[in-house]
Amino acid sequence: MKLPTVGLALALCAAPAAAQDTPARPPAAPAFPSVKVGITLFTDYTITQRPKVIDADDNVVTLSAFQVTRSYINVTGNLSRRVAFRLTPDITRETGTGSSLTGSYTFRLKYAYVQWNLDDIMTAGSYARLGMQDTPWISFTDNIYRYRFQGSLLPDREGYLSSADIGASFRYVFPGDRGDVHAGLYNGETFARPEVNDQKGFMVRGTVRPVPGHAALRGLRVSGFYDRDAYVKDADRKRAIFGVTYEHRRGNAGFEYLAARDQNASTRRTPVEARGWSWWTTPRLGRGWEGLLRADSLTPDRAAADQNKRRVIAGLAYWFPLQANLQTALLLALEDVRYQRFVPARADERRIAVHALINF
């Protein structure tokens, strides 16, 4: 009679241990498809001190305007773990003439692509894309600069590159966080215009992080970019950029040098070569406050080397303390643009503006 009693006691003692050995329930697999909707909004109030404008009653006045310079609806998602997409309508003002929509805000596409995530067969962050998408240089530098809501950087602002185009691209991330390469074949007509001939633009950006393991120098990256395109056959449209960027908890900084060559159909025997550079820094002052200092210089035609366009931007920004995937900022900025020895002469520009950013 004692053996069953002992057996029962042993069974009761063993029960908790058996319960502890039960494997934990695996985490639920992510549900597909998944879709997220966000917005990107740039708006400002700008006073243009120079040049003056003449109103409808022939008065010389200082132009001032409330503006919406960007309003994106960002629809992003994943069809599966390996397939993602982005669809971004851009609501922009129609500035053409001869249309009933002139002056109105109209709907157009800015991004529309499918992306194949290659994390399973390559390094994390590698992908292939097809459709209307980022070009390799602009999105890379904008993510470090962060002040596109005041105005884009030199290659984009002066019309030498576009932030988006239609094509196919591939990005590979080097192991050990040592950089990446992003290359693609694009129409070359930007996202705003359709393809008009058989010429395609090949763009490639390569970036290296020289010392990824160093605490202070990890944010240093050196990059090169090349764009080989043509307006028509044997009429070159080339761009080359060398850039250095640095990211730190106390601020970011960057420098880029641009070389461009344009040989369109009307000037096939006399290509126009441009050179330009830009540097900027965004020191963090603490408690959400940040400064902005930037200088651009552009010689649009080396044959007229004395012609020069210079831009200086100085500003003070406040970034609201929101979650990491939300960005809200206000920026007070002064922008001064000088045109030296242009023929025909161009009026200098000066603007004071309050800019606002919302992005999520």
Q: Is residue 5 part of a domain?
A: no
Please, which residues have CB within 8 angstroms of residue 335's CB and are 6 or more apart in sequence? 150, 151, 311, 312, 313, 349, 350, 351, 352, 353
> HSE of 160 in the Cβ direction (CA atoms, 13 Å)?
30
Query: What's the gap between Cα 219 and its chain centre?
Result: 18
CA dihedral of residues 181, 247, 141, 244 (deg, nearest 10) = -70
Residue type, 295: A
Count the residues in the chain.
Answer: 360
Give the pLDDT of the chain (360 residues) as one tens digit per residue. Answer: 444 443 433 333 334 443 444 455 566 666 888 999 999 999 999 999 999 999 999 999 999 999 999 999 999 999 999 999 999 998 877 776 666 767 787 888 999 999 999 999 999 999 999 999 999 999 999 999 999 999 999 999 999 999 999 999 999 999 999 999 999 999 999 998 889 899 999 999 999 999 999 999 999 999 999 999 998 888 899 999 999 999 999 999 999 999 999 987 755 678 899 999 999 999 999 999 999 999 999 999 999 889 999 999 999 999 999 877 889 999 999 999 999 999 899 999 999 999 999 999
- Residue 39 falls within a domain, yes or no? yes
Residue 84 in domain: yes
17 found inside a domain: no
- Taking CA atoms, 204 is separated from 138, 183, 263, 329, in Å, by 12, 4, 21, 32
Whichever domain contains 306, its CATH number is: 2.40.160.10
Residue 160 lies in a domain: yes
Residue 7 counted as domain residue: no
In a domain, 8, yes or no: no
CA–CA gap between residue 157 and residue 159 (Å, rounded): 6
Number of separate domains in the chain: 1
> Please, which residues have CB within 8 angstroms of residue 277's CB and are 6 or more apart in sequence?
154, 255, 256, 257, 258, 296, 297
Which domain range does residue 313 map to? 32-359
Is 21 part of a structural domain of the chain?
no
Please classify residue 113 by burial: count the beta carbons closer than 10 Å to its beta carbon, then call 0-12 exposed, 13-18 middle and 19+ buried: buried
CB atoms near residue 212 (< 10 Å): 16
Are 292 and 254 in contact, with CB atoms under 8 Å apart?
no
